[in-house]
Amino acid sequence: MGDLYDSQRAMRQMRKAAMQRGVVAILDVGTSKIACLVLRFDGPEQFRSRDGVGSLAGQSQFRVIGAATTRSRGVRFGEVDAMQETERAIRTAVQAAQKMANVRVDHVIACLSGARPRSYGLDGTLNVAGGMVTEQDISQVMASCDVPDYGADREVLHAQPVNFALDHRSGLADPRGQIGNELKTDMHMLTVDATAVQNIFYCIKRCDLELAGIASSAYVSGMSSLVEDEQELGAACIDLGGGTTGLSVFMKKHMIYADSVRMGGEHVTSDISMGLQIPMSTAERIKTFYGGVVATGMDDREMIEIGGDTGDWEHDRRTVSRAELIGIMRPRVEEILEEVRERLDAAGFEHLPGQQIVLTGGGSQIPGLDGLASKILGQQVRLGRPLRVQGLPQAAIGPAFSSAVGLTLFAANPQDEWWDFEIPAENYPARSLKRAVKWFKDNW
C-alpha cells in the first residue's frame, strides 16, 4: 500500500501544480471512445478563499477550452489491451483537444472504467481520551483502520473517509476541534487491478504527459449525473459504457460502493453482428439508429436494410425487421441489468433510504431502456445526463460523456482522500527531522 499511497500523494501534488499553471486535461479512456477535455482554471473564483463549494457548484472556476473524441482502439473491458493502439488513440484525442484549445497540456487526469474494482468498507477507532480532535488524530484514526488483505496484484484507487463518529454521535463530517473520548471513522476503499492502472500510467507517459490524478469512471459519472439530493439520500448510478457497466452507490454525498459489470454496449453490438451476420460497424450503426428494447406491433413492419459488400445480390439486399433487432438486443440488455441488480443486492442497496437509480453512459440512450430497467432494478429509475459545465461543446453534453464531465468536477472539487490528510506521526521515518519538530510542537 505504501507505494501507491506515495504515488497518490505525488499525483495530488502534481494536480496542484497543474492548477497553478491553469491548464489540465481530462482523459476518459473508455472501451468505445476516448474523450479528452482541456480545462482552463481561470474563473472568477480562482483567487477566492476556499470556503465551501462556491457558486455554480464550484464550476465557475474552470472552463472547457478544448474537447475531442476518438474511436477507442486497443481497449477492451475498460482495460488497456493493446498498448500501442491505446497510446495512439490517446495521442489522437489529446492532439485534437490541444489543437482546439490552442494550448499545450502537460498534466492529465484520467479515469478508467474496468480493472475489476472492488469495494471495501473499513472502520477504525482511536482513543482521544477526552481531548480535542486534531488533524493528527484524524490521520491516526484512518491509519488505524484494519485493511483487509486485498491481494498483492491490486492497488487502492480511492480511499475516502465516509463518516466520523465521536463517542455516541455519528455522521460527523468534520470532527476537528470537537471533544470526545473515542473517535471512529468509516472509510470506503476501492481497489483495482494493479496491472490495469500501470498500463494506463505507461500509455500516458508514452504520450509525454504527466498523470495528475486517476479516478474510477463509475465514481466520476455518479458525481456528474446524480443530483444533490440523490447523492444525499442514497442513489445508484449505472454507467452503461462500451465494454463495462460501472455502478456506484452514493449516500450522504459520499461514494459507498462501486463495482463494474464486464458487459456493455459493445456486447450488444457484437450480438447484432453475430446474429445478423453483418460487420461490427454496420451493427453499430443500426443499433444506434434503430435499436430498442421494447418491441411494438409496428416494429414488425419497419424493415431495416442491413446491406453487404459481397457482390451477391441476395446477400447485399438483406433486410431485417426492427422487431428482430430488438429481439437480439433485449436479452443482452436484460442480462446486463440483471447482473447490475445482483451487484446492488450484494451491496445491500435496498437498505438505503433512497432507492433512486440513474442510468447514464452511452448505452442509456437505447429507446425504452428506462421501462426495461424499472422492471429489473426497481421503480425509481431515471435517465441521467451529465451536469452542464462551462464551455462544453454541444457534441459532448450527452450521457456518453458523463464520466468525462464527472472527471472535470473531480478535478475542480476533489473529495478528500486518505492521502490528502497529514501523514500520521508514527509513519514518519524514525529519525526524521520532521518527527522531531513535530514532537516539539506537540509537547511545547
Partner 1 sequence: MRSLIRRAASDAAPRDPAPSRLGYRYQRLMLTPGFRGTVRIGVPILLIMAIAGSWYAKPENRAALAATIAETKQSFQQRPQFMVQTMHVTGGDLAVMTDVAALLPQAFPVSSFDLDLEQMRADIEALAPIKSASVRVGQGGALEVQLTPRVPVALWRDAGTLRLIDADGVEAGQIMARAERLDLPLIAGDGAEDMIDEALRLFAAAGPLIDRVRGLVRMGERRWDMVLDRDQRLLLPSEDPVSALDRVIALNDAQDMLNRDVAVVDMRNTNRPTLRMNEEAADALRRVNTTINDGAGN
Query: Closest CB to partner 1 among 106 and 339?
Result: 106
d(CA 20, CA 27): 19
Taking residues 149 to 188 in sequence order and writing x for each that binds partner 1 by CB under 8 A, - otherwise, the string is ----------------------------------------
Of 98 and 245, nearer to partner 1 (C-beta) is: 98
CA dihedral 5, 231, 69, 283 (to 10 degrees): 120
Near partner 1 by CB under 8 A: residue from 88, 262, 382, 438: 88
In the three-class reduction of DSSP (H, G, I as helix; E, B as strand; rest coil), residue 41 is classed as: coil
Q: Is 95 in the site for partner 1 (CB under 8 A)?
A: yes
Q: How far is the CB of 279 from partner 1 (least distance, A)?
A: 8
425, three cell numbers: 506521526
Site for partner 1 in 297-326 (CB under 8 A): 307, 309, 311
State how far the Cα of 444 lies from the Cα of 272, in Å rounded to an integer.
72
Q: Among 8, 32, 59, 98, which residue interacts with partner 1 (rule: CB under 8 A)?
A: 98
Is 411 in contact with 59 (CB distance < 8 Å)? no
Least distance from C-beta 400 to partner 1, angstroms? 16
CA distance linking residue 396 with residue 388, whole number of Å: 10
91 binds partner 1 (CB under 8 A): yes
Q: Residue 162, SS3?
A: strand
What is the number of residues in the chain?
444
Q: Which of residues 240-299 bind partner 1 (CB under 8 A)?
A: 281-282, 285
Q: Is 17 in the site for partner 1 (CB under 8 A)?
A: no
DSSP string, 243-259: S-EEEEEEETTEEEEEE
Residue listed under C-alpha cell 449525473: 225
What's the closest the beta carbon of residue 318 comes to partner 1, in angstroms? 14
40 binds partner 1 (CB under 8 A): no
In the chain, the amino acid numbered 288 is T
Instruction: Work out which of 31, 92, 113, 408 binds partner 1, going by CB under 8 A.
Output: 92
Q: At what angle do helices 217-225 and 402-412 cross, to 10 degrees?
A: 90
- In whole angstroms, how close is the CB of 71 to partner 1 at the nearest point? 5
Please state, in angstroms and as integers, the Cα–Cα distance from residue 237 to each residue in 70, 203, 214, 226, 354, following that order: 25, 28, 19, 7, 12
Complex with partner 1: residue 228 or 309, whichever CB lies closer: 309
**Shortest gap between Cβ of 103 and partner 1 (angstroms)?**
6
- For residues 66-85, which are near partner 1 according to CB under 8 A? 70-71, 73
In what helix (H) or strand (E) does residue 262 lie, and over which residues does it extend? none
> Which of positions 200-229 make contact with partner 1 (CB under 8 A)?
207-208
Residue holding cell 443499433?
Answer: 287
Residue 181, all three cell numbers: 473520548
Q: Does 383 bind partner 1 (CB under 8 A)?
A: no
Chain contacts with partner 1 (rule: CB under 8 A): 70-71, 73, 88-89, 91-92, 94-95, 98-99, 102-104, 207-208, 281-282, 285, 307, 309, 311
